[in-house]
Amino acid sequence: MGKKDKQFVAEITPMEVDFAQWYTDVILKTDLVDYSPVKGFMVIKPYGYAIWENIQKYMDDRFKETGHKNCYFPLLIPESLLKKEAEHVEGFAPEVAWVTHGGQEELAERLCVRPTSETIICEMYSKWLKSYRDLPFLYNQWCSVVRWEKSTRPFLRTSEFLWQEGHTLHETYEEAQEETLQMLQIYKETAEELLAMPVVVGRKSEKEKFAGAHATYTMEALMHDGKALQAGTSHNLAQHFTTAFDINYLDRDGELKHPYHTSWGVSTRLIGGIIMVHGDNRGLVLPPGIAPVQVVIVPIAAHKGGVTEKVDEIFAHLKKDIRVEVDDRENYSPGWKFNEWEMKGVPLRIEIGPKDIENQQAVLFRRDTLEKEVVALDQLKEKVQGLLGDVHNNLLLKAKNMRDEKTYYIKNFDEMKEIMQTKPGFVKAMWCQERECEDKIKAETAATVRCIPFEQEKLGETCPFCGKEAKVMAYFAKAY
Amino acid sequence: MGKKDKQFVAEITPMEVDFAQWYTDVILKTDLVDYSPVKGFMVIKPYGYAIWENIQKYMDDRFKETGHKNCYFPLLIPESLLKKEAEHVEGFAPEVAWVTHGGQEELAERLCVRPTSETIICEMYSKWLKSYRDLPFLYNQWCSVVRWEKSTRPFLRTSEFLWQEGHTLHETYEEAQEETLQMLQIYKETAEELLAMPVVVGRKSEKEKFAGAHATYTMEALMHDGKALQAGTSHNLAQHFTTAFDINYLDRDGELKHPYHTSWGVSTRLIGGIIMVHGDNRGLVLPPGIAPVQVVIVPIAAHKGGVTEKVDEIFAHLKKDIRVEVDDRENYSPGWKFNEWEMKGVPLRIEIGPKDIENQQAVLFRRDTLEKEVVALDQLKEKVQGLLGDVHNNLLLKAKNMRDEKTYYIKNFDEMKEIMQTKPGFVKAMWCQERECEDKIKAETAATVRCIPFEQEKLGETCPFCGKEAKVMAYFAKAY
């Protein structure tokens, strides 16, 4: 590597030195995102947006396979609607943006920019639902929402973010519960099979659940710095909103009833998760499923020995099934290009020069292992397709290992405090499930209950934090 | 047809009786859209949204093929940015929604909900653009925008609508002009090849151009009632915004220069166009390219003679290449289903009963011609695919004929007034291009200059409205 190459790498602060600065360096230098003139609002640049499009495509297909249809509800919600469900307004009112004027006129009633759409959607559902024959309602929307946040970081917590929100109605509690868990399962598969990001799934504590929910389910991923990321939630809202919004239907038995209700969402936050689970000190490491460029071809000495022609041929051959690009910029050296594409996290690089053409071969570089291998040209496409799968599997495995290394058991509160101070990660512990205990844990360690996992282990009889009887095993961590 | 069927059809007001009521009946009864609790804001229901998704898919592919990438810019724009380009703020300030409070706090500066994003995007471009090597910038975003409208109608004019907005920067005026016209051409092809909606393309008058544009180009379609619909616009913004926002780059000659700029957009308004160009007194007539359901299969006497099995087989065979649905609802008669799917505009219907199975045939019904034909089962898929193409071509032809019938030449102002009163449509006439004349035409006939078409005809020497020297031929019409 030349001098220029070394300078290139040094632009990203090592994560061991300052993880927050590492994150900021990565997202800005790889052109995922930029800050906007409005504090807390981000601009998603084409490279970042292409990741979101790939996530959208996968998830939208999964939603449609399971019978959901997309629609679009208004951006602005009257204050009176937001107030209809008591817990909901209490949770969201402090963080909404208010529209008070339309054109030159002051509005008779303030409108909030949607922080989430349960209220406006329930208002419409109350108009649409007549009979049990209409059920289930299985609708989703892709949109942006606004929550006025004091402290923000691109992708992880911003005053505006992009997401999808599913809103469904069902005849019975059981069907609503089944839907809630089905969507959580789709989220888990998205995380693991598309993003190579292992997650723990389970239920939120009463304190941490969604404002207005009967029960909230979550998937939680562990980042490189040992902090957890809530990566997607699915809520069984039971009849809380359908009662408040007076949604009724004529049931099979001729009685008017309130349907059961779910909502579920994931957001551009997932991109923050991808960065912090897979990234390293060279920059991004993107899972092949969502990488905007899965393979980059860098010609070496492009003007010699038919390199350009061969590169064009390889490009044309790969293009149909793989997101491939050729970097034929003339004013950059191959070494510079290697570093840039490594920083941008492209899973595979093909290097090909006159020597390679003589030998009917190319060099394949893997971003995840930093390993190179020589491949015969007539096996290139097969090899590339196989390696993209290998990269995914390796990223998922590495992330699982990282998580396991940072997952601890504790015997008492002192151990918990020490872990959270010195080597944060997931702590698995029995818990009494009491609010007072939960508040104390947070106050003294900054950790919160991330979830009560579906996969329970019996680690003891008492709550190690307060000594009372243990009810469940839970995951605790500091969180984004 | 039974009694029930006749009632069904009668629910839509005939367009000859009341065109506006016909439109409202169609959009509500076919479940495209609903009114929301906030005046002027619409809910796009799944059937309407699926049309938009099909339009998006086609256009997004076209944009990407021509080198454009998607990104996302913030929803909220500071008032100071909106004010930077003088004509722009004058045009948009009267119709924006203002956010004045975030959570409990009053904001130091008001933020407007984007009515269009030139200002926020130019602010970011001024940060990103450094060198001629960075050009062109070819970016697009899909989002919703808000314009506070006094009088609204779903899809055609609403206070919030969904659209795409492309924003590009170029080195030269010529390149910007080429981009402006290229995108207009893509819009025209979308209208004609996807939506079967013929359009006239040309330039807007100075009065009608976009606030802040150097020149606005438009495509204009003619509706059943003889009113024009501006269906998409593409603006050459020259250096108006890039100067106001101080966007500079270091050019090849070492000088700092302002780039040239374009923007272009189409919206959910296109759906209103589809309805009013193709619809009839039975309801929607959807072009196959965007129909959420291209073919519906209605089993007759489903429990007899292996009908269900055969329907499943046909469905499985068509499904891979065609958007097909089976209507196997038990509590509706075939006649009721026929009427409902006709109202919903599904291009083709397959009817199949025990007799058909005996004869190895099915009945194919075309929504556009209302004609039925019997088809051998082993040729069904080929036939369906061929007919979907025929339906498209026929819809386009019918719409062209309708437009031609409603396109008039005039000799003087009196003829113009009479046409606009008695049989509105497009009027092609020479024009002086003076603002005073334009204002007078609008005041006396309610018609506006729709565009100065690229295809000019020399119809005379003088402006028939004011007698001055004619400069161009223009299309005039009342418009949505």
pLDDT for residue A11 is more than 60: yes
In terms of Cα–Cα distance, which of A217, A211, A215, A162 is closest to A186? A217
In chain B, which residues have their Cβ closer than 8 Å to the Cβ of A91? none
CATH of A295-387, one of 3.40.47.10, 3.30.70.520, 3.40.50.800, 3.40.50.920: 3.40.50.800
Residues of B in contact with A73 (CB under 8 A): 36, 43
Domain with CATH 3.30.110.30 in chain A: 407-477
Instruction: Give the closest-approach CA distance of A200 to chain B in angstroms.
Output: 30
**In this structure, are residues A450 and A199 in contact, taking their beta carbons and an 8 Å threshold?**
no
Q: Cβ–Cβ of B103/A120 closer than 8 Å?
A: no
Q: Which of A220, A271, A184 is nearest to A426 (CA)?
A: A220
| Range(s) within chain B of domains with CATH label 3.30.930.10 | 15-73+122-278
Q: Where in chain B is CATH 3.40.50.800?
A: 295-391
Joined tokens for residue B143: 């989002």
User: pLDDT per residue over B286-309, tens digit each?
Assistant: 999 999 999 999 999 878 878 999
Q: How confident is the model at residue A8 (pLDDT cuts 50, 70, 90)?
A: low
Whether A242 and A259 have beta carbons less than 8 Å apart is answered as yes
> For an interface test with B, which of A43, A81, A82, A152 has the most B Cβ atoms less than 10 Å from its Cβ?
A43
Name the percent of chain B lying above pLDDT 70: 98
Task: State the average pLDDT over residues A350-360.
Answer: 95
Q: Which of A34, A54, A99, A160 has the most B C-beta neighbours within 10 Å, making it the best mutation to test the interface with B?
A: A99
The residues near A450 (Cβ < 8 Å, ≥ 6 apart) are: A200, A218, A220, A228, A230, A426, A474, A475, A476, A477, A479
- Chain B nearest CA to A372, separation (Å): 31
For position B9, what pLDDT does the model report? 53
Contact between A101 and B98 using a beta-carbon 8 Å cutoff? yes
- Topology classification of domain A11-278: BirA Bifunctional Protein; domain 2 (3.30.930)
Mean pLDDT, chain A, whole residue set: 95
User: In chain B, which residue's Cα lies nearest the Cα of A49?
Assistant: B71
Rounded to 5 degrees, φ, ψ at B93 are -55, -40
Query: To which CATH superfamily is domain B15-73+122-278 assigned?
Result: Bira Bifunctional Protein; Domain 2 (3.30.930.10)
Residue in this structure with the two tokens 């003294």, named with its chain if needed:
A444
Where, residue-wise, is CATH 3.30.930.10 in chain A? 11-278
Q: What's the rounded Cα separation, in Å, for the pair A111 and A73?
A: 14
Among B472, B452, B475, CA closest to B461:
B472
Among candidates A34, A49, A71 on the partner chain, residue whose Cβ is nearest the Cβ of B44: A71
DSSP, res A404:
H
Residue A447 binned pLDDT confidence (cut-offs 50, 70, 90): very high
Task: Give the rounded percent of residues in chain A with a pLDDT score beyond 70.
Answer: 98
Predicted confidence (pLDDT) at residue A215 exceeds the cutoff of 70: yes
> Which among A31, A36, A65, A72 is the top mutation candidate for probing chain B, defined by the most B β-carbons within 10 Å of its own β-carbon?
A72
pLDDT in tens, B228-270: 999 999 999 999 999 999 999 999 999 999 999 999 999 999 9
| Nearest-angstrom CA–CA distance, B278 and A219 | 47
At B5, is the pLDDT very low, low, confident or very high (cuts 50, 70, 90)? very low
- A72, A77, A95: residue with CB nearest B44: A72
Tokens of A205: 């504590």
The overall longest dimension of chain A from CA atoms, in Å, is: 82
Shortest Cα distance from B152 to chain A (angstroms)?
14
Nearest by CB to residue B113, choosing from A36, A99, A124, is A99
Nearest to A47 by CA among A281, A296, A223: A296
**Considering the domain B295-391 in this protein, what is its CATH number?**
3.40.50.800
Chain B residues whose CB is inside 8 A of the A168 CB are: none
**What's the pLDDT at A88?**
85
From residue B356, alpha-carbon distances to A65, A199, B73, B326, B363 in Å are 31, 54, 56, 17, 8
Q: Name beta bridge partners: A452.
A: A203
Cα distance between residue A318 and residue A213, in whole Å:
48
Q: What is the pLDDT of residues A172-200, one digit of tens each?
A: 999 999 999 999 999 999 999 999 999 99
- Residues of chain A found within 8 Å of residue B160, distances taken between Cβ atoms: 74-76
Considering the domain B407-477, what is its CATH architecture? Answer: 2-Layer Sandwich (3.30)
Q: Which residues from B are below 8 Å from A144, CB to CB?
A: 72, 75, 143
The one-letter code for the residue type at A234 is: S
Integer-rounded Cα Rg, in Å, for chain B is 25
For the segment B330-377, what is each residue's pLDDT rounded down to a tens digit?
889 999 999 999 999 999 999 999 999 999 999 999 999 999 999 999
The Cα–Cα gap between B159 and A115 comes to 19
